[in-house]
Structure 1
Amino acid sequence: MNSIDQTKTTDTANLWMIGMSTMKSSMLLSLVMAIIKGVAGIFGNSYALVADALESVSDVISSLLVWLGLKYASKPPDEGHPFGHGRAEPLVTFVVVGFLILTAGVIIYQSIINIMTPHKLPAHFTLIILGIVIIAKELMYRWVIKKSNSTNSTALKADAQHHRSDAITSLSAFVGISIAIYLGPGYEAADDWAALIAAFVILYNSFMIFKPAWGEIMDEQNHSELIQKIKVCALEIEGVKDTEKCYVRKAGINYLIDLHLEVDGSISVFDGHEIAHRVEDKLKSCGWGIIYVSMHVEPVRTNVEC
């Protein structure tokens, strides 16, 4: 293994460690929030708060799955997996989406039952609990999304969306409980309508989480910014006349590149091979998460006789 590959392996390992450390903190906060909201919802007679607690429980389970997925995806390439194990990350994301949809279904079912069944008004203290939860979850969202951007992790982005989803459902519960409390008897169901709205927010966020993970599995070509940087980088290497095709595949936090180079058609095969290697080494050392480059060298005529 050359020095560039060694550096790349170290950088990748550090990014995976950041991702897994972030997930541990995320799981801990979601667990604390689930317990607080569940207890407050039960004793405060608020199903919106109980539903919010269920959403936090799904966050804990999904965060655990994401952590396990990141741990597996961080394994280095081996003989059976020469491109690494990064594709485990979007696969785990699909499982997370499944848990979110299941949670939304449970909340919708119970909300409808509660709307049709008379019950007491929620307690005032539930609003204080929700205010604290909303602030905590929004701060957690901003922290996790920052980490996901620095590591380019699809799974961390999904987990960040969980926290934003939780903040939104808590806000919805806050509004519903406020209506029920301050308008009094006859408006008890406002709390349950809030839970119902929160469930549809969860479904929408599930779709938003699913979409990029599906694109990653299907090798969707939506990396125009990275492709442009690759082309500019390649043209800085002496001997490269131009680039033709460039395809990008995302695998976890890493990228696999298929690139067609154009070089002087009159040079030797050996020289063309050397130019391709210099391009590959430079791309891997740029810090863009590129761990594999497949190069095809295209000859171009530089002197055309009329």
Structure 2
Amino acid sequence: MRGIVLNATLAAVKFAGGVFGNTYALIADGAESLIDILSSLLVWAGFRVAARPPDANHPFGHGKAEPLAALAVAVFIFAIAGWIAWSAIREILTPHQGPHWATLPLLAGVVAVKLWFSRRMTRASEEAGSTGLQVEALHHYSDAITSAAAFVGIGIAVWGGPGYETADDWAALLACAVILFNGVLMFNRALADVMDTAVSPEFESEVRTVALGVPGVAALDKCRVRKSGLSHLVDIQVRVDGELSVRAGHDIAHAVKDALLASAPHAISDVSVHIEPIK
């Protein structure tokens, strides 16, 4: 919720600075901050839903809600970039007065706040393993880049004088390319979770190592791991002595599951173990 309050404050500051400082780049930046509020609400809602325990209608949990919310944020990013680009081109083609110098210190403060908040969100996403928070961190970083581009453009327009009135609009147009690039990164990360993309080889190797360390496990056939919201689901096939009783095989399967859950209590939420005899 802090992100929502921060974006609301920044949006008001940017709009006021844009109107009184005669710079459309800052007004467009303020509009982006308003969209940031909506994206923060989406990520927060996705996070809350993803944290719900499994129920009768969702036996595997609600983990997909988080990357779906992140996908929605990425789509908003594309829309924002398109709107800013269209508006910047319109301003470039329309004669207008240059911006006021007082908008420069305001933008410098905005950039500093956004970079600080982006770093905080990045650390939080790493601690929670949250795709939604990763996307939100990138979103704040994109906003900082947009404001920095506006700062450079307005600076050129102010110090350049007549003939440089559109410098801030060109800067806003250039920032759109960076925003689109970050939007693609966000979209791909969220889509990877929705499509059950394979986890890193290092994570899978850790899962295999833990499973092989369980007494009675002779070998592993397959090991499939997929991310679901803030944690992972593991589907593993282990080989045991074919002469063991059904109960003994069942006990080994439970031991494998317990070992994996204990090895990563926050990273793994459920394990399915299939027992096969050694041939």
Q: Could you state the TM-score of these two structures normalised by the residue count of structure 2?
A: 0.96
Q: Supply the distance in 2 between the matched residues of 1:127 and 1:42 (Cα, whole angstroms).
A: 14
* Runs of 4+ displaced beyond 3 Å: none
* 2:50–2:230 contact (8 Å) kept in structure 1: no
1:185 to 159, 162, 165: 162
Superposed CA offset, 1:160-191 (max 9, x none): 01111111111111111111111111011111
Q: Supply the distance in 1 between the matched residues of 2:195 and 2:84 (Cα, whole angstroms).
A: 32
Structure 2 residue 101 is matched with structure 1 residue 117: no
Report the identity percentage. 45
**Correspondence for 2:35:** 58
1:266 to 237, 240, 243: 243
**Correspondence for 2:147:** 170
**Correspondence for 1:244:** 221
TM-superposed CA distance for 1:106, in Å, is 1.3
Q: Secondary structure at the match of 1:246?
A: strand
**Correspondence for 1:80:** 57
Tell which deviates more after alignment, 285-294 or 127-136. 285-294
Superposed CA offset, 1:127-160 (max 9, x none): 1011111111111011011001111011010100
* 2:232–2:267 contact (8 Å) kept in structure 1: yes
Show the 5 A alignment for 1:205-244. 205-244=182-221
Q: Could you state the TM-score of these two structures normalised by the residue count of structure 1?
A: 0.88
Structure 2 residue 124 is matched with structure 1 residue 156: no
Superposed CA offset, 1:80-122 (max 9, x none): 1111111011111121112111111111111111001111111
TM-superposed CA distance for 1:293, in Å, is 0.9
What RMSD in Å do the two structures reach over aligned CA positions?
Answer: 1.2
Q: Secondary structure at the match of 1:240?
A: coil
TM-superposed CA distance for 1:288, in Å, is 4.3
Q: Supply the distance in 1 between the matched residues of 2:153 and 2:223 (Cα, whole angstroms).
A: 51
**Correspondence for 2:109:** 132
Q: List runs of 5+ in structure 2 lacking aligned partners.
A: none
Q: List runs of 5+ in structure 1 lacking aligned partners.
A: 1-23, 302-306
Structure 2 residue 255 is matched with structure 1 residue 278: yes
Q: Supply the distance in 2 between the matched residues of 1:145 and 1:270 (Cα, whole angstroms).
A: 46
1:253 to 206, 218, 230: 230
**Correspondence for 2:274:** 296
Superposed CA offset, 1:18-37 (max 9, x none): xxxxxx11111111111111
2:20 to 15, 22, 43: 43
TM-superposed CA distance for 1:273, in Å, is 1.2
Q: Supply the distance in 2 between the matched residues of 1:53 and 1:299 (Cα, whole angstroms).
A: 64
| Number of aligned residue pairs | 278
**Correspondence for 1:106:** 83
Superposed CA offset, 1:233-271 (max 9, x none): 112211112222111111110111111112222222221
Q: Supply the distance in 2 between the matched residues of 1:68 and 1:123 (Cα, whole angstroms).
A: 39
